[in-house]
Structure 1
Amino acid sequence: MKTPLKQKYLRKLSDLNDHLCFYLFNKQELKDKLSNFKPEHNELFTPNLFPDNPYSKTIHVTIEKLPSFQEQNQLINFGSYFSFSYEFFHAYMEDVMEIISDINTVSLTSSEKKNTPTEEQLQLLISKLSHTAPPQEIFDTIKYYRLRRNYITHLLESLTSGFSNLINDQGENLNSFWKEAISELDFTNDNISVITENEIVDLLKIQRIILLTIDKFIAPLLQKEGIAKYICTTRYIQPTRINNDIIIERKKTVNKLAIESFGVELTDTEMDNAVKTIGVKK
């Protein structure tokens, strides 16, 4: 099973990964081009050696300083890619909690939501659905992403106490948990101002694994009668009169959508109430 959110957010992460690859492609192209210049060109400025590029005058740095200029640009780009990846996942968590509420009619109270980070809200909601849960390391990793995103976007100069405690208390455990997936990312490292090329690749890879893990865990917890109701509510907006032929046709449509969106086949009994009552003119 799966949630209907899975492919939507995997595509977003895949698009982000494509943009990262495009940036790395351009970076290598510039590196190769600069390698063709001779030492005596080092003091020349970008407009001299890239006269056909309309932006060379805007940058206006010497060829010798261009690599360091690119490194600073990389810091901004990698920070942006990482921040976007977290925002995508944050949106996924909010959307999946809404689906749980719609389908299983289980939600958090206002007091449970108040001042509670999104990953902790999701963890609490899952605890209301099941006696088991994804590993705690999954939620600790999401917390790491959130706090590191905050460090970047809020232009912080030092780690918050919460982030520092997470690194000190859970860093080694997270390194062990993700050892098969990471090549350079180190959860014990408190020097997070710089995101390296291998590190951003690790961060995006783990983000995808977490999304798949949570989606795979939540999907089987969704009630099938609730899935039928959810599909009918979004499919049959305009009330119509109903008869046996329409009921049969609706069941075919709802079951097809359940298979496509949720990866599950529904029985007549599981669909019966929804197709007969939702979007029906009285």
Structure 2
Amino acid sequence: MKKTPLAGRFLRQLIRVNDQICFSAMQQWDFAKRLDPLVKSSPNQFSASAFPQNPYAETIFRSVQELADFSADAQVVALQMGVVASVEHLLAYVEELQGLRETLVATAGDPIFDDALEEQLRLRIARWKGAAPTPEYFRTLGYFRHLRNHYAHVNSQPNAAFSTYTRSYGTPLNKFWDNGRTNLHGIDFRTLPSTRLTPDLAFGIMNLLRVCLWHIDDIVADTLSLSDAVRWIVQDIRSIPRNRGMSRDRLVSKVTARLEMEWNLKVEAEVTLKAIETVI
């Protein structure tokens, strides 16, 4: 697959949040195991006496029985905030991706705008490629944009816009992702908004966000030429004053290495040299 220089940075952000979600799940499981004997033996004991070594036990001051419910609710909130952060990262990526493409290639015609960033990108890609891209990756991102709002606004039920989106795309997205390759961990797009979030469902969401990023990045990278990538790299290298006098051989070497590392394009030095000569 091709890629843009943005993919790696935003994938690392998603992986970082995913690790936090995994830690939350591990922490909750461990705490529930330690709490269970206390619930059975002294359910009315208060947190301060049950956990005398914990400096924060007095701040909540609840019975052990209540702590069990608080702990489960706290995990749901942590998982939801992980999903919110991840969708924010991916939407920021979509915005930066469009900016990158526009700096490299001038687009003819009237500007395309849409309130939904993922739909705006889909429409722009259709113009750039001359053909519509696979819509499900963008529909999935749109779905999770609605889910982000649902969690962030602490809605008890999906709002009208999310309900309409789910009715329109829930079943098609289930069919699209039932491909035997992506582990959904039990996600059902038709019912996810009204389902209590679990670690497994959060893992499925994170998998889908990563896969969507990979494919969208590949689709956009495919609209850019080798010369476009070389121009971007050369401009970036020469933006540092000390690099402006760099020798030709060193410039070719650095550009060739960055083409493979940042764009997943493996080319010979001679090809890089010819591309450099066309952009400087």
TM-score normalised by the chain length of structure 2:
0.88
What amino acid sits opposite 1:270 in the alignment?
A
Q: Secondary structure at the match of 1:36?
A: helix
Count of residues paired in the alignment: 272
Aligned-residue Cα RMSD (Å) equals 2.4
Residues 150-192 of structure 1 show CA distances to partners (whole Å, capped at 9, x for unaligned) of 1222334543333211211221111111123323211111753
Identity score, percent:
24
Contact in 2 for aligned 1:107/1:125 (Cα 8 Å): no
Residues 56-111 of structure 1 show CA distances to partners (whole Å, capped at 9, x for unaligned) of 1011111111111112212211110110010010011111112211222338855x
For the pair 1:270 / 2:275, whether they are aligned, the reply is yes
Residues 21-44 of structure 1 show CA distances to partners (whole Å, capped at 9, x for unaligned) of 111111111112123336341110
For the pair 1:188 / 2:193, whether they are aligned, the reply is no
| 1:15 aligned partner | 16
Q: Secondary structure at the match of 1:155?
A: coil
> Alpha-carbon deviation of 1:268?
2.3
> Alpha-carbon deviation of 1:247?
2.7
Tell me the distance in 1 between the aligned counterparts of 2:110 and 2:152. 29
What amino acid sits opposite 2:71 in the alignment?
Q
Residues 1:52 and 1:138: Cα distance change in structure 2 (over 3 Å): same
Contact in 2 for aligned 1:3/1:262 (Cα 8 Å): yes
TM-score normalised by the chain length of structure 1:
0.87
Contact in 2 for aligned 1:134/1:213 (Cα 8 Å): no
Contact in 2 for aligned 1:119/1:143 (Cα 8 Å): yes
What amino acid sits opposite 1:122 in the alignment?
L
What amino acid sits opposite 2:66 in the alignment?
K
1:5-84 → structure 2 map (5 Å cutoff): 5-37=6-38, 39-84=40-85
Tell me the distance in 2 between the aligned counterparts of 1:156 and 1:242. 54
Residues 243-267 of structure 1 show CA distances to partners (whole Å, capped at 9, x for unaligned) of 9x82333222222221221121243
Tell me the distance in 2 between the aligned counterparts of 1:107 and 1:59. 60
> Alpha-carbon deviation of 1:55?
0.6
Tell me the distance in 1 between the aligned counterparts of 2:64 and 2:151. 29
What amino acid sits opposite 2:224 in the alignment?
L
Residues 1:186 and 1:212: Cα distance change in structure 2 (over 3 Å): same
What amino acid sits opposite 2:24 in the alignment?
Y
Question: Which runs of 5 or more residues in structure 2 are unaligned?
Answer: none
| 1:253 aligned partner | 254
